[in-house]
Every structure is written in C-alpha cells, then in structure tokens.
Amino acid sequence: MLKVAIAGASGYTGVELIRLLLKHPEIKIHAVTSETWQGKPVTDVFPSLADHIDDEFVSIDSSLLSECDLVFLALPHTTAMEKVPGFLKNNQRVIDLSADFRLNSAEVFEQWYNVAHSQPDLLSEAVYGLPEINREKIKSAKLIANPGCYPTSVLLALAPLATEDWADLDSIIADSKSGISGAGRKASLGTHFGECNEAVSAYSLGTHRHTPEIEQHFSGLAGREIRLTFSPHLMPMTRGLLSTVYVNLKKSMSADELANHYRDYYRQEPFVRILKTGTFANTHHVKHSNYCDIGVQVDSRTGRAIITSAIDNLIKGASGQAVQNMNLLCGFDETLGLDAPGLYP
Amino acid sequence: MLKVAIAGASGYTGVELIRLLLKHPEIKIHAVTSETWQGKPVTDVFPSLADHIDDEFVSIDSSLLSECDLVFLALPHTTAMEKVPGFLKNNQRVIDLSADFRLNSAEVFEQWYNVAHSQPDLLSEAVYGLPEINREKIKSAKLIANPGCYPTSVLLALAPLATEDWADLDSIIADSKSGISGAGRKASLGTHFGECNEAVSAYSLGTHRHTPEIEQHFSGLAGREIRLTFSPHLMPMTRGLLSTVYVNLKKSMSADELANHYRDYYRQEPFVRILKTGTFANTHHVKHSNYCDIGVQVDSRTGRAIITSAIDNLIKGASGQAVQNMNLLCGFDETLGLDAPGLYP
Amino acid sequence: MLKVAIAGASGYTGVELIRLLLKHPEIKIHAVTSETWQGKPVTDVFPSLADHIDDEFVSIDSSLLSECDLVFLALPHTTAMEKVPGFLKNNQRVIDLSADFRLNSAEVFEQWYNVAHSQPDLLSEAVYGLPEINREKIKSAKLIANPGCYPTSVLLALAPLATEDWADLDSIIADSKSGISGAGRKASLGTHFGECNEAVSAYSLGTHRHTPEIEQHFSGLAGREIRLTFSPHLMPMTRGLLSTVYVNLKKSMSADELANHYRDYYRQEPFVRILKTGTFANTHHVKHSNYCDIGVQVDSRTGRAIITSAIDNLIKGASGQAVQNMNLLCGFDETLGLDAPGLYP
Amino acid sequence: MLKVAIAGASGYTGVELIRLLLKHPEIKIHAVTSETWQGKPVTDVFPSLADHIDDEFVSIDSSLLSECDLVFLALPHTTAMEKVPGFLKNNQRVIDLSADFRLNSAEVFEQWYNVAHSQPDLLSEAVYGLPEINREKIKSAKLIANPGCYPTSVLLALAPLATEDWADLDSIIADSKSGISGAGRKASLGTHFGECNEAVSAYSLGTHRHTPEIEQHFSGLAGREIRLTFSPHLMPMTRGLLSTVYVNLKKSMSADELANHYRDYYRQEPFVRILKTGTFANTHHVKHSNYCDIGVQVDSRTGRAIITSAIDNLIKGASGQAVQNMNLLCGFDETLGLDAPGLYP
C-alpha cells in the first residue's frame, strides 16, 4: 500500500481528495494536514466522513509527512511552492493542486500572480497533469502541477483543434461558468450565500490568472503561441463547470463531422465523453464524477464551431484529476477509484 | 383611468404584469384571462396577490375585453397572432409579449418557428417595443411587439456599437445565461426542479429563435445585414439574465474609453446603468427591477470588447418593458410604476 | 419631511431599510452609517440602489445623525444599547432592530446573551414593536425594540390562542425554518454558499436566544408565565421564514372553526392574511412583502392544532416591521410604503 | 451473479438504483423497464450513466423480467400491487419501493389511499424493509415493502424510545423537511423550478399517507397502538430529508444520557450515526450516502426530547435501503455497494 499525505486538507479539494482516497484500493492515507484545525479529528470538520476516518489533522511540519511516498498539496497559491523542494529532496513524489507550478515561466507567473516565484528552477521539472495531453510525461514525473478547473475544461474542449488547419486558432473565445465551490472554502463576502445565491455574474474579464495557463498549454499543442479570450462567470450552484468555446472555422463542416473528429481524438480516453450531435454539455450529467462531457455544434450561418464541455470542478477539475495523475504516476490502472458514474439528480 | 386587460395572465409574465399594473396610478385592470383557470379567483392561483385583487380569471372571449382601452397579450406563440386583428379592429391598442410580431418577415418567421404566419400584413404595422432604440415609434404604435428577454439584453449590449466603424460587427458572439423562469410556468420535465437545480447547460446552440430577432433589429441599427452567434444557457435560479457579448475591435481603446462611449449613448435612458470600469454585470443587482446594467471591458491582449448586460428576465425582459411601452404609448411618464430599485439580497 | 438615519446600514436589514425608505413619501434618508464602509458611496456596496441614492456611508458618530428626527439602529447586539441613551437624550426617537431592548429583564438578557445589560433602566421604557399586539403603545413610544424574525412569526401564529381556555398553552412547540439571510451579511463559514446550499439543518435547539423573547411577550398576552419549545432550522434559500406551531387542544374543533377564530382575531390587521382551510403557509407567497400568511389545521386524530405562519424575514421579520412601527410612531398611515404585494416567482 | 430487474427505472429512485447496482459486485442488471421510454437507451434518458450501461428500456411485460432472480419495483402506487403476484408465482423475490405493501391492513390502506387494495392476502406476507428494526425477517422475505422516505427518518429517530417508560409516546410530533426529489420525476406545477425554488412550505398537514405507515410500525415496536402528529414540508433543494421529532420526557435526563441511550441502541448498526451532543442533524452530511445521522437534545426547561434525523431521501430513504434489503435477503454483506461516504460539499 502506498502511503500518501494530503496537505491543506480542510478545504473543498482536500475533503474530496480524502473521500476519493479512502476508497482507493492501493493507497493508505497516512497524514492529513491543516494548520487551522490541527489536533482536531477530521470528522469534526467534515462529519460526512464519520465512521470512515479516525485521523486528526496534523501540521504540515509533522514527521508523518516524511514517511509518505506521495504528497498531495491542496495549499493556497505561493504556500505550495515553499514546501515542494523539501519533499522532492526527500525523494517523495508531489502532486500540487495549487497554481504554483502550472506555468513554465517565472516571468509570466510574476506578471499574472503579482509575486516573484521562489522556485523558478523547478518550473521546468514540473509536469502539467492533464492526462489527455500529457499522459506519458506524467507517468515518470516527480512533481505534477495539477491543472486548474477552468483550464481543464477549456483545454479538453480545444485540444482536438490544435493542429487542424481548418480551425482559426486566433479567434478563440472561452466563456466559462463555474459553481461557487471553485472559490474554495474560505469565508468571504463573495462566497456568502446571500451574495451568490440566485445570482449570475461575470468577473475578472480579461485578467483571470487561468488565462496564461490555458494559453501556454494550448500553445504547446498548437506548436505556436496562441492568445485567446477567457471569461469566467459565477453560477449559483455548488459544483460544476461549463465552458462554451467559440472558434471560427476556415472550411464548411457539419456538426456530425466535427463530432466525429472529437470522437476520434478522444477514442482511448476513459474520462472524456463526446455527446450525440444536437445535445450539449450539462454540468448535471458529470456532477460527482471524473468525466468531462463534450458537445459540439457548428453555427453554419456564421462559420463558427461551438464546443461545450462540462466537468465537476472538484473532481475532474481538481481532486479526481489528482488521483488520475497519481494512478498514472504509480502504475495503477488509470481509472482506479474514479470509475463511478455521477449521482443524478 | 385607462382600462386594461391581461390575456394569458396565469403564467409568470402574467402575474408580473398584474403586480406591476396593480400599483400603476393611471390604469385599472379590467380583465385577466386564463382558459385553464377561468372562473377561479386570481388569488387562488397566485396567493401572493391576496388582498390586492378580487378578480376571477375569465376567458379571452369574455366581453370584458372589448371594454378595455389596451390589451396585453401574454399568450403562447402563434395563439397571440390569431387574437390581434380583432382587438385592432375594435380600435384597441395591443402590447403583445409573444414572439408573433417581432420579426418583420413572414418568411423568416416561418423558417425559425416552423409554422406559417397567419397575419403577415400586420408585421409591418407592429412596432418593436425596445424603447431605447424605438421610443418615438412606440408612442404612436397600435400594435407593439414586446421584445424577447434574450434580445433585450443582447441588443442593449450591442446598440452603442451599431454605427461605430471601430467595431467589427461580423465578429459578434453573444453568450447568454438565463434563469429558469424564462421557460414559462408550464410544467415540463425540462423545468422540473430536480432537473434544473444545481445544473448549468447550453441549449439550442445555433438554432434558438431569438437569433433572427436580435439580428433583424441590430441590422436595422447598423444599416446593413448582420449575422451573429447567439448561445443560450440555463442557470439554476428563478430570475435573471446575463449576456456576455464579444466584439472584435478595429482600433486600440481602453475600457474607460469604451465605458464613456456607452455612457454617452445611454445618457438619457432611465433604465440603463453603465457600471464602473472594472466591475461587470451581475443579475443580482437588477433582480426585481426594470434596470439593465451594462459593464464593459477591453481585452487588450486579443483586441476584443467584452460587454456584459444583466436584466431581470421577467421585468425588463418582459412585463416591466411592456409597462414601459404602455407608458410611452399612453403619454404617461415613462418610468411610472417602474421606478423601484431591486430587492437585495 | 421626517429626517431619518439608518445606523449599521451595510447589512441585509440595512439595505432593505434603505430600499423601503427611499420610496416612502413622508421621510427623507438623512444619514446612513457603516464603520467599515464610511466614505464609500452606498451604491458601491449595494449596486442595486444605483440611481436611487447619492449618499456616502458615514460614521455613526457623524453630526448628521444629531440632525435626524428618528434613528433606525441596524447594529449588532450589544452595540446598539450603547448608542440608544445619546439619541434619547437628544430627543430623537429610536427604532432598534437589535435584540438589546426586546426583553424586559436585564437578568434574563444576561442569562441568554451571556453579557450584562448596560442600560437596564431603559428596558422598561422600550416598547416591543409588534403592531398586532402592541399598536397603541408603539404610537407613543420613544424607543421601539423591533422584534426578531422568529418571534414575529411565532407570536403571530400564537397570539389568537393566548386567552382561549381550549388551547393548552403548556404544550406549545414552535418548529421554525429560516432562510440564510437571517444570519446577516457578515462572512463566516456557516453562511458560506458551499456549506448552506442544498442543506437543511437544525441548530441551537433548546438554547436559541429568541426563546425568551417569544416566551416573555406571549406570557404577557396569556397573563401567566408560559414556557415553550422553540427549534430553529436553516433552509437553503435567501429569504423567507416558516414556523410550524403545535398546540394541544382541550376541546374538539374543526379546522374551519379554528380558521374563523383566527380571521376574527386578525380582522383589522392590514398585514396578516388567514389562508383558506386546507392550504398552508408558503414563504414563496409572502417573499418581498410585509405580509404574514397564517394557515391553520386541526389534527383531529391527535387533538392538536397546527398553525403555520410565513413571513419574509427581512421585511415583516425586520425592516418592513421597522417601517410599520415608524408609521405608527409618526402618525402616518400604517401601511405607507409597505403596501406592495410580493414578487412571484 | 444474481440477475435483477428494475421496473419503473426512469424515475429518480430508478436511476439511483441503477447507479448503485452497476457497482455492486454480486449482481447484474438484467432488465430496466419504462413504459414511456421503452426502446430508448437508458443513457438517452440519463446521460450521467453514459459508458456504464448499454441497456435499452424495455416494457415491464418483457420476457427479460421472467429471467431475473429478483425484481425491484419503482412503480407508482397501485401499479405495483398488480405486478407483484406474477413475480411471486414465478418464484422471484420482489423489493417493492411503492407504498402498496407497507401497511398490514387493507382497510387502513383504503382509508388513506382512497382505493381498494387488490391484493389484501399478500399484505401479511410482505416484510417491512427497515433493517434496523426488521433485519431477521428481511433475510427470509419473499416480498419486501421498502419503507417511505419520511417513515425511515422518523422511525429511526423514534425506535430507541419505543419501549422506554420515561418517554411519553402519546406526545410525539414529527416535523419533517424534504427535498423536492421526494416528489418524483413526473412533471407537475408543484415540482416546477419556479414554484419550489426559494420556497419553504407545509403540505398535507394531518393527512399525509406516511402517517399510518409510521404509526403502524412504531406501534409494533411499542407493543401498543400509538398515534402521532406528522407534518411534512418541502425544502428548496434536490436531495435530503430532516425530521425533527418531539417527545415529552417523564423523567429528567441530560442530552448526554439520551445520546448514550441512542448509541447503545444503534451500536451494531452500520448506517446509523449518533452525533456528538450539542450538534444536530444536517442533511448535507448524509447526502449521497446510505447513512442516517441522529442528533439528540433535551429541552430541560420544558421536559422534552428533541431528536433530529437526517437521510438522503433517495438513498437511505429509497434506493440505498432497497439495496441494503437485497443484501440481507441474498446473504451478502449488508453494506455491499453502499459503504461510500457522502460527497461534500
């Protein structure tokens, strides 16, 4: 049994990691950390886990962590980067759910995150953990940068177009809609029920930090630098993320042809489902699962492709994908512990 | 006091019309119709109105309707068109909340609605009731086609760009997000709580009937035929509609410059509010009011303007706008009965 | 025009007071205070009010307040009591929305609020502002203690039973269900969207501070000391409060008889509506209004009366009731500014 | 592998049964029926199950059903009773999720359901499938009447009191709060999003059909006939059911003593969790799981016990409990396929 630690486990990605790993047949949770709650039973903070875990939260500096084979970091941005070198030096694998190692340029990081990167040398060592585009590298990685929720949904919608000359990659617009849990569990006015309930709003238009993450990894696929417009929106629901992605087409094609192209591209993927033509992505159908559903349409009147992709932001957009990366890294079956369909309704 | 009738008053736009008109100082509700509920007190169907209205629902064929100066039609599409000629012949003004008279071409109507238009001659007589672009015509109209909720929000976001040579009108994409009440009050699987709660989905991509409505009226403003992409989405909330509209810019400009342009354009408008630069439209701030809030941004990295506009779909997107049209038509102050701020939260 | 101030206006009861008072024909908002937001325009904090109010928030110590005829206090508990003596000395009327003056005993206050009352002498001067049971006293009050949301709904459900010998007043159980806005606007884990959305929970069973408030004022009506069980619950919605109140009956009676008794009792009340027998209170029908809807049932199998009462917790349960109290205090029509039906849906 | 059929599988309990059984290691889904959707792939109706099930819906009269060892009936009330005799004659076990066999008296059934029972002889043969009170009988049953969601939560809250002389069993009041999915998937005005969203309401007070079901099975435990008051309420959420149960105590006791009594009573139960004193049941903590969480309190001021119990109405309140019953009936481990903790948030 692999021993794993989850650092920063009192947030929403943390509790979802605990839940997924508790039922994973090949690993054992050896330590869960929270500076706020250290000394408290995990089940005091998350009563949903009662009868499933006896652990108390420990500090991230607990010696328990040094006994683990693999560490998941569900820490805030910039906190994670300080911790990674110690684990790597200790020959432990790290799957980092923060944004700290998702960009390959310290300069770009500083530009969007307004803080210098303290571990620029590690950026080139980190592997971006989106299995659908990086599977082989993930298998031998030491440090995996687990993708953001928005980039996961947008990149999966876009990847099949990256090398097609009939798609105008300079015309890409991604309009994304996320549930509130994407903002984390920290109390704030912005996540107060009375503020977000029954409300749909746009935010950070043109300035959201997931923009360079999407651009860099899509540029990697396309083989040239691509810029795109990314617009995040908040939805009055807990889980789920839908991206509607627009791309101008350089040739006429039907929705069926486009769908077949997507089906070919993702034929081997266990967690990507291409929807029937005429139906579109719905977060309800992927909620509580590791799936990404993709629906395609061609607006032939304007010559645009419209790609919709839906994920559960806490699973395929965070903790489920982290487990998928762990499975690849450790040589387990990629779907181990992740193969349940979502709960409906 | 003006005598008015509301035909088809047992739906959501109907009850909202009743509520607004009950407090309107210049009119009296003389008849409310519902074929399903005729003979029942209005307050049996809408207990929220108890102590405010004593009327029973009558049939649309009741003689009460012929005694009215003005008739609001909140009937299903294609039902409305059959009723309009009778009222006009009787010299009554009609404000039609259905889609039946929003397009000026019977051919286009048939193409998108899959049914022949039975009153093609009246199409040219109908005035499209969006006061911000059609105020003078509305004042002297006999038949007003009250705009759809999506077209209201998209056209208000786009109107200030229609004659500007720095906006590429062939690049327009409108990504709209609507609350469930936009689908009406009729029971259906698609509006079942268990189906739409906690779910965000795209629908009718490339084929929604509001597309030609938006295109026709925007083309009118632009002075040439414009085609655009319109994508509707369903949000898990009752009221509210947000449109995020993308337009390529042909020159470099700042968000402040763009905002000032919008402020100039809408300076005289009582129900359009241009947001501070850096803030974006939020349905929560217009809910329960007749306002349209518009936020603008320039994504200078890609050269695109991003316009967000938010309305309450049942007020500015339907019944409030109908009252605004009535006010104009009848020579009342345009804001009469509509000047309350929204309720928050 | 009466000059009024709203102290602590950046919370949910504050914004609701502003909204109601903006449209009140007899008063003028002269000052709105917030220590956190002082110097900021009110519309920066509440964009829903844009175009309706130009004021900036000021400190509660601003001289503007001393120029007001009446002050609404929407301050946290224990903060309010410190401010009241100054206003009273200055001959200003005070309507206090906090709990500080709702109990007539400093001892009971200390027992339930775990803090000594700093103004025990004022307790006997304060009038409990539930117009349906205290109308005459309110008219001549100097200091009004505006009732809590739970006590409003429970007392209105119970008042008609207080002096009836067929109701066993020692058997009362009140099971109340409140929307999240009742917890205020302060950011906390408990009001985080991810925590309360899609969740129903009980809290403070047997220990909630509204218990002695209900007991004291119901005991006053009954003419003897009554103890009852009060159980609050949180509901995943923003506004609305439903109480289901159980009382053993000492004689056999039908639901119709009981309903008629309630109708008689509340015959003159402008804001209490007794529902048709066979229908029960629903928060949806009173939302956004100052109404309290009451439905009654007799469970003849067990000999119990079941009274349901629904209010909008921010209106009849807080700010609307405060305006109703102001109307009485100032000799205005009691319903002035409050007579709109709720918005549905 | 056991072959099972799910009849009436296109509703919410149906899809939840499919989901649970798909991952059950000892059984194979052999047929899923729906008269409405027969001939359609299950995944057309439930896209969440895509890649997990290839079956098409068949008619309940399909010969596939006669090949099954066990049949789950998720049919409407009164439809189920017509189908049961055929399956029993064919020596197949039946777990019926309808109400048809939950009462042991045809007379009481007719009184509450307003229709004669067509299979009165089978009533005595049916075993009420609440494992916590009926485990041994379930193991050898041929026909299991799966309990209703409300009765499950109320009976689990009450069972530990049934034979205690310090509990006044004539004073029981159960105030229950259910999510909308409890009303099934059939489209209706009452389950329309616009009607139930942001609304809390009471319904069927004193007349709900689950009342005799609770009374009969609790009376069985108590050894004498008990009548109680049961009040159902609708909550604006999809899943979850909370019952708050009130019982007068005949002796003084602390919450800790009461909690210990409950812990003793349920010591062996895999799916009942007694909460720490001072915390109360929250549907959020059991959602998506087969758990029932129970919190207890003593209101010493009034001498009442307040028991809160929370379940997921579709799992422990329906399909999960049906699987638990199947496990017992078939000699599998009782928790097989049901041992996952809930998803949070």
Indicate which CATH number applies to the domain containing D308: 3.30.360.10
Could you say which residues from 126 to 165 on chain C have a Cβ atom under 8 Å away from some Cβ of chain D? none
Query: What pLDDT was estimated at residue D257?
Result: 98
Q: Is the peptide bond before C232 cis (omega within 30 degrees of 0)?
A: no
Q: How confident is the model over B263-269, as a mean pLDDT?
A: 98
Using DSSP's 3-state secondary structure scheme, residue B219 falls into helix
Q: If pLDDT is split at 50, 70 and 90, which confidence band does C320 have?
A: very high
Residue-by-residue DSSP string for B39-99 = TSBHHHH-GGGTTT--PBPB-TT-GGGGG-SEEEE-PPTTHHHHHHHHHHHTT-EEEE-SS
- D321: tokens are 């409990």
Least Cα separation, residue C195 to chain A (angstroms): 8
- Residue A89 CB burial class (10 angstroms; 0-12, 13-18, ≥19): exposed
Would you call D342 an interface residue with chain A, using a CB distance cutoff of 8 Å? Answer: yes
Chain A residues lying within 8 Å of D342, measured CB to CB: 48
Residue of A40, A319, A343 for testing the chain D interface, max D β-carbons within 10 Å: A343
- Determine, for residues C192 and A189 on separate chains, whether the beta-carbon distance falls below 8 Å: no
Query: What pLDDT was estimated at residue A22?
Result: 97
- Determine, for residues C236 and D237 on separate chains, whether the beta-carbon distance falls below 8 Å: yes
User: Which residues are registered as beta bridge partners of D47?
Assistant: none
B276-323 pLDDT, tens digit per residue, is 999 999 999 999 999 999 999 999 999 999 999 999 999 999 999 999
- B272: tokens are 């359009």
Active site residues of B: 149
On whether residue C188 sits in a domain, the answer given is yes
Query: How many CB pairs lie under 8 A apart between chains B and D?
Result: 56
Q: If pLDDT is split at 50, 70 and 90, which confidence band does A182 have?
A: very high
C23-47 pLDDT, tens digit per residue, is 999 999 999 999 999 999 999 999 9
On whether residue A157 sits in a domain, the answer given is yes
C55-59 long-range CB contacts below 8 Å, 24 or more apart? C55/C29, C55/C31, C57/C9, C57/C10, C57/C32, C57/C33, C58/C31, C58/C32, C58/C33, C59/C33, C59/C35
Range of the domain at D56: 2-147+316-330
- Looking at the fold, whether D166 and D284 belong to one and the same domain comes out as yes
D75-119 pLDDT, tens digit per residue, is 999 999 999 999 999 999 999 999 999 999 999 999 999 999 999
Closest alpha carbon within chain D to C198 = D237
Q: How confident is the model over D251-262, as a mean pLDDT?
A: 98
Query: What pLDDT was estimated at residue B261?
Result: 98
Closest alpha carbon within chain C to B311 = C48
On whether residue A339 sits in a domain, the answer given is no
On whether residue C335 sits in a domain, the answer given is no
pLDDT cut 70: percent of chain A above it: 100
- Looking at the fold, whether B129 and B159 belong to one and the same domain comes out as no
On whether residue A337 sits in a domain, the answer given is no
- Looking at the fold, whether C320 and C309 belong to one and the same domain comes out as no
- Looking at the fold, whether A307 and A159 belong to one and the same domain comes out as yes
D185-238 pLDDT, tens digit per residue, is 999 999 999 999 999 999 999 999 999 999 999 999 999 999 999 999 999 999
C107-150 pLDDT, tens digit per residue, is 999 999 999 999 999 999 999 999 999 999 999 999 999 999 99
Q: Is the peptide bond before A345 cis (omega within 30 degrees of 0)?
A: yes
Would you call D268 an interface residue with chain A, using a CB distance cutoff of 8 Å? Answer: no
Mean residue pLDDT across chain B: 98
- Looking at the fold, whether A224 and A89 belong to one and the same domain comes out as no
Active site residues of C: 149
- Looking at the fold, whether B114 and B197 belong to one and the same domain comes out as no
Q: Which of D149, D196, D292, D330 is catalytic?
A: D149
On whether residue C338 sits in a domain, the answer given is no
A41-88 pLDDT, tens digit per residue, is 999 999 999 999 999 999 999 999 999 999 999 999 999 999 999 999
- Looking at the fold, whether C161 and C308 belong to one and the same domain comes out as yes
In which residue are the tokens 């929305």 written? C97
- Determine, for residues D202 and C242 on separate chains, whether the beta-carbon distance falls below 8 Å: yes
Tell me the pairing of strands B229-234 and B201-202. Answer: antiparallel
Chain C residues lying within 8 Å of A12, measured CB to CB: 194
Q: How confident is the model over B193-219, as a mean pLDDT?
A: 98
Chain B residues lying within 8 Å of C287, measured CB to CB: 48
On whether residue A341 sits in a domain, the answer given is no
Chain B residues lying within 8 Å of C289, measured CB to CB: 48
Q: If pLDDT is split at 50, 70 and 90, which confidence band does B240 have?
A: very high
- C24: tokens are 């009140």
Helices (H) and strands (E) in chain D, counts: 10, 13
User: Hey, what amino acid is at C175?
Assistant: D
- Looking at the fold, whether C192 and C269 belong to one and the same domain comes out as yes
Task: Give the helix, strand, coil percentages of chain B, each rounded to 5.
Answer: 35, 25, 40
**Residues contacting C32, CB < 8 A, separation 6+:** C5, C6, C9, C14, C18, C42, C53, C55, C57, C58
pLDDT cut 90: percent of chain B above it: 100
- Looking at the fold, whether C87 and C225 belong to one and the same domain comes out as no
Residue of C19, C48, C336 for testing the chain B interface, max B β-carbons within 10 Å: C48
Query: What pLDDT was estimated at residue C38?
Result: 97
Residue of A13, A191, A192 for testing the chain C interface, max C β-carbons within 10 Å: A192
Query: What pLDDT was estimated at residue A188?
Result: 97
Would you call C199 an interface residue with chain D, using a CB distance cutoff of 8 Å? Answer: yes
Partner residue facing D306 (CB), from C200, C206, C345: C206
DSSP H helices in chain B: 12-22, 42-45, 79-89, 106-113, 131-139, 149-158, 193-196, 210-222, 255-265, 320-330
Could you say which residues from 2 to 31 on chain D have a Cβ atom under 8 Å away from some Cβ of chain B? 12
Q: How confident is the model over B153-171, as a mean pLDDT?
A: 98
How many domains, in total, are found in chain C? 2
Q: How confident is the model over D311-330, as a mean pLDDT?
A: 98
- Looking at the fold, whether D134 and D181 belong to one and the same domain comes out as no
CB of A61 closer than 8 Å to CB of A34: no
Q: Is the peptide bond before C345 cis (omega within 30 degrees of 0)?
A: yes
Q: Which helix (H) or strand (E) holds D26?
A: none
On whether residue B270 sits in a domain, the answer given is yes
Task: Give the C-alpha separation, A234 to B310, whole Å.
Answer: 13
Distance of CA B92 to the CA centre of its chain: 22
Task: Give the C-alpha separation, A286 to A312, whole Å.
Answer: 6
Would you call C187 an interface residue with chain A, using a CB distance cutoff of 8 Å? Answer: yes
- Residue C43: CA count within 13 A, CB half-sphere: 16
Q: How confident is the model over A24-48, as a mean pLDDT?
A: 98
- Looking at the fold, whether A16 and A55 belong to one and the same domain comes out as yes
User: Residue D18 maps to which CATH number?
Assistant: 3.40.50.720
- Looking at the fold, whether B24 and B127 belong to one and the same domain comes out as yes
